[in-house]
Amino acid sequence: MNLVLDVGNTSTKLALFAKNTIIEFIVINNFSIPYLREYIENRQDIKYLYYSNTSLSRKDIGNLCEELDVKYSDINHTSKLPIKISYSTPETLGSDRIALACGAAQQYSGNNLIIDFGTCITYDLVLGNEYIGGQISPGLDMRLNALNYYTENLPKIVFKTPNVYIGNSTSNSILVGVYEGIIFEVNGIIEKYKLRYPNINIITTGGAAKIFNKKIKNINFFDSHLLMHGINYIIATNEQL
C-alpha cells in the first residue's frame, strides 16, 4: 500500500492507494504526528509514504516513518519524477505544483493547463511530459481576508455565492467583486493559453473548484484527486512499482 499526504495551509488530505486505485480518502482539519502514527499502526501493509508539504516538519515525519519501518520522502525538484521540469528556479517550485503536473502528464495525454483553486489559484502548464511554468494569484479566502486586513472599514465575511448582479450592500459588493473577479481572471487566462495552444486540456482541481466550475469556459476535466494521483505516480517512479 502507498500512503500519500497533501499537507496544506488549511487542511491535510490523505489517500491510501492499492497500486493506482484510491481505497481511502480523508480530509483532516487538525492533522498531527500522533494521528499519522495511529493511522499507520492500524494498517500494517503500508510500505511507502510520500507527501507534499507546506506546514509540517519533515524531521517529525521522518522520525515516525523510520520507527515504523515505512519508506518515506517529500516531493521537491530533486525527486525522481516522471516529467521534465523546465523552470528557471526549480528549488522554489512548490511540491503541490510538481505533483499536479505529474498527475496531469500521466492521466491526460497532450498538453495540459492545470488550474488549482486552493489557498492560492495556481496555473501550471505541462506540454507533454515537460513542466513549463505558469502563474499564481490569491485564492478565494485570501482575497476576502485581504480586503478586511488592509482596510479600516471593510468587514471580514464568509464566502457564499452572491445572488445579486450588482452589490447592494458592502458585504454583497465584496462577494460580487471577489466572485466575479476570479471568474473573469480564470476565463481570461484560459483564453490566453488557448490562443497559443488551441488543443490544450483545461483541468480544474482544488477545494474551491466546484464553486467556479459552472462559470469557467472550456473546462475539459475536473479532477479532485489529481494531486494525490500525482504523488502516487512519483512513488511508482522512485520505487519502480
Structure-block grid coordinates of residue 102: 505529474
Q: Which residues belong to the active site?
A: 96
One-letter identity of residue 180: E
Q: Distances in Å between the alpha carbon of 27 and those of 33, 184, 194?
A: 15, 30, 33
The Cα 186–Cα 138 span in angstroms is 12
**Closest listed residue to residue 223, CA positions, set 204, 239, 238, 198:** 204
Structure-block grid coordinates of residue 95: 511540491
**Closest listed residue to residue 119, CA positions, set 240, 9, 4:** 9
- Strand runs labelled E in the chain: 2-7, 12-18, 21-28, 48-53, 71-74, 84-85, 111-117, 120-127, 130-138, 201-205, 221-222
